[in-house]
């Protein structure tokens, strides 16, 4: 088993899911409560990674991060080294790739809240931030947990984006799924199997936790 690859994948998944939560909370709040008619545009952008082949996403991420891309040039100017084929580049691409898995459960749980509770909070003088912290978050916590866990699991197993943006650098960008691919190519089926089975079990356990916590929140299965 390639411990280095496993640790790298864990580090990537933890970083991405934590960062995603920070970005997704305000984004989901806005998507839930805005009255702007064009919000479907943002909804579509957020949902794109659900339908796009990861290679497409990875391809454009690579272009943007490359020496001629805006992001790549900005990064080079700020930090003095290129962004593509680095851990940071991997994190940025993964943020987009796993975005819907964080935003959608949050939106679903915010939307299921009784709006009158927020009205009551406002009438009682609470600012939007206080309402968010004291009312929305505590009542939407299953959605928050689901968002965290799903984006963690999704990032843990990504392949196409990593391959496009990260390449295959041991300890930097060689994640579990790349490792499995490499070993299979090298006909090391036993090694591939060990890692693949681990990923399978971890993903299963994570999903079981999510669905065990709350069936009402976002799930590909019909509501019961």
Enumerate binding residues for another protein (CB under 8 A): 114, 116-117, 119-127, 130, 134-135, 138-139
d(Cα 135, Cα 110) in Å, to the nearest integer?
A: 11
- 8-state DSSP, 158: -
On whether the CB atoms of residues 217 and 109 are closer than 8 A, the answer is: yes
Nearer to another protein, 34 or 127 (CB): 127
Q: How far is the CB of 215 from another protein (least distance, A)?
A: 19
d(Cα 159, Cα 142) in Å, to the nearest integer?
A: 28
Nearest to 165 by CA among 76, 82, 43: 82
d(Cα 180, Cα 195) in Å, to the nearest integer?
A: 7
Nearer to another protein, 50 or 117 (CB): 117
Nearer to another protein, 44 or 127 (CB): 127
Q: How far is the CB of 41 from another protein (least distance, A)?
A: 24
Nearer to another protein, 123 or 190 (CB): 123
Q: How far is the CB of 27 from another protein (least distance, A)?
A: 23
Q: How far is the CB of 145 from another protein (least distance, A)?
A: 15
């Amino acid at each position: 088993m390639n411990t280095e690859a496993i640790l790298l994948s864990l580090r990537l998944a933890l970083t991405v899911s934590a960062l995603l939560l920070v970005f997704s909370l305000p984004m989901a709040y806005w998507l839930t409560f805005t009255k702007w008619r064009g919000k479907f545009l943002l909804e579509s952008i957020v949902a794109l990674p659900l339908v796009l082949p990861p290679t497409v996403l990875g391809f454009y991420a690579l272009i943007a991060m490359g020496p001629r891309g805006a992001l790549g040039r900005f990064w080079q100017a700020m930090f003095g080294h290129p962004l593509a084929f680095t851990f940071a580049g991997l994190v940025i691409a993964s943020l987009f790739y796993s975005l819907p898995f964080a935003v959608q459960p949050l939106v679903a749980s915010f939307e299921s809240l009784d709006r009158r509770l927020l009205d009551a909070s406002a009438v009682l003088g609470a600012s939007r931030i206080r309402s968010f912290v004291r009312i929305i978050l505590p009542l939407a916590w299953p959605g928050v947990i689901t968002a965290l866990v799903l984006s963690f699991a999704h990032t843990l197993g990504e392949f196409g984006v990593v391959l496009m943006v990260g390449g295959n650098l041991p300890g930097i960008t060689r994640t579990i799924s790349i490792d499995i691919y490499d070993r299979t190519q090298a006909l090391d089926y036993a090694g591939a199997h060990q890692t693949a089975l681990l990923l399978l079990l971890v993903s299963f356990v994570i999903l079981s936790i999510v669905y065990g916590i709350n069936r009402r929140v976002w799930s590909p299965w019909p509501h019961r």
